[in-house]
Structure 1
Amino acid sequence: MRLRKKPWVKDEIFQYTSYSVKEPREWKGKWRTLFGNDYPIHVEFGTGRGNFITTLAKQNPEINYIALEQKQEVLVQAVRKAVALELKNIRFILGNANFVLDFFSDDEIARIYLNFVDPWPKNRHAKRRLTHQNYLNMYQQILQKNGSIHLKTDNEILFEFSLNELSLHPFYQLHDISLNLYRNEENLEKHVQTEYELKFLEQGKPIYRLEATLI
């Protein structure tokens, strides 16, 4: 179901000035200044309702988190979670992953999360997938050496595509590949779940996961 835009939502997002970054381009290369420390920065592209990123931020106070989401009606829910938890180590961007090079400088990010992103199933839309070579090249610029990409998806076609794209790229090394992450029940405690992920687990769907390190 398509969400209808509500004009007050954007206003609510940006009223939380300690959390929402209205002009992210102004902070390119200066995110540590905004956070006021030198902790590593982890970014989630397509943060959704924010269960994943806010849980991580609560668990890891010595990591800075940036959550990017283009749907304002969804992002406002993530911001509300951060406000309720009184998190100090998270910021939110209302924006699109196409502009990551405008938002982040070279070698600025330690980790990128891609959780249940749009699989764009039609072949003619392959360039829109966030693991296409074009995106991997952008991530290469903003990631630090030994920085990493963490991908989770329920979509087998996207997962196979991502494995192929990453294996063809000369500067990423694949590891920790799982075709059914929660076959081992211990992983339920080890990994933080998104809202989509919890729904898929209830449906018995396998969750595919990989990590790729910039070498």
Structure 2
Amino acid sequence: MRIRKKPWADQFISDNEKYVTDEPKKYLGKWQERFEKQQPLYVEVGTGKGQFIIEMAKRNPHINFIGVEIQRSVIAVALKKLLNDPLPNLQLVITDGGDINEIFYPKEVAKLFLNFSDPWPKKRHAKRRLTSPRFLDTYKEVLSDDGNIEFKTDNRGLFEYSLTSLNNYGMKFEYVSLDLHKSPENEENVETEYEQKFSKKGPIYKLIARFNEAS
């Protein structure tokens, strides 16, 4: 989907470097310096307009959150929301989520969120899916030994692919739901903007998985 460029976005981002950076490699091994306190680090890859990561940071002040998004115009919207109620445990990062192992040290991240990623439905594009082995390699590198991945989607094909991909990689499933919004766990569920808009059209799928030490 083409994102309309917001002419005010670049300057707005430059004016608020306390909460957002487009030079993530500068903070390799130094991310905790951008937060008020040193705490476990949770990262969302593809944070969009920020509804999910902002609410998670509000609910969990004992955790530091980083929202990663490649689209400057989109993250500028998330930044606007954050500035309405600044949070000391949330940072936004403008970069490609595929480079996550180049901006975080090994074992530095306690949890990864993958919410409503592009399904890349054509078979020839499978390697671009964020749950493909190529990306799993990078996640395994940055996740702590007890860390895990939480993945949500409304795309049945992508969910089935992800179950197979993670299983073949040797990951252990801690939770799988074929209809999250009708499950008891939905009471604690934090919705993304996309989820809020499209959940009425069909079920939301979710899984939580971790890497086995031998995988």
TM-score w.r.t. the length of structure 1 is 0.94
RMSD, matched Cα: 1.3
Structure 1 counterpart of 2:180, which letter?
L
Paired positions, count:
212
| 4+ runs deviating over 3 angstroms | none
Match of 1:202 among 178, 185, 200: 200
Contact 1:156/1:208 (<8 A) preserved: yes
Q: What is the DSSP-based 3-state SS (H/G/I as helix, E as strand, rest coil) of the residue aligned with 2:61?
A: coil
Deviation per residue, 1:173-214 (Å, 9 max, x gap): 112100011123x444310000110112233x1000000113
CA distance in 2, matches of 1:21, 1:5: 18
CA distance in 2, matches of 1:71, 1:151: 20
1:36 CA drift (Å)? 4.4
Structure 2 residue runs of 5 or longer lacking an equivalent are: none
Contact 1:131/1:165 (<8 A) preserved: yes
Deviation per residue, 1:47-89 (Å, 9 max, x gap): 0111000000111111000001111111111111111112111
Match of 1:212 among 180, 189, 209: 209
Farther off after superposition, 82-91 or 104-113: 82-91
1:14 CA drift (Å)? 2.6
1:178 corresponds to: 177
CA distance in 2, matches of 1:34, 1:75: 18
CA distance in 1, matches of 2:22, 2:203: 37
Aligned-pair identity (%): 41
CA distance in 2, matches of 1:100, 1:188: 29
CA distance in 2, matches of 1:100, 1:189: 30
Structure 2 counterpart of 1:182, which letter?
H
Deviation per residue, 1:2-49 (Å, 9 max, x gap): 223234312212311210023110111121222243310000000011
Structure 2 counterpart of 1:214, which letter?
F
Contact 1:14/1:22 (<8 A) preserved: no
CA distance in 1, matches of 2:73, 2:120: 21
2:13 corresponds to: 13
Deviation per residue, 1:117-157 (Å, 9 max, x gap): 10000000000000000100100000000100000000001
CA distance in 2, matches of 1:154, 1:62: 30
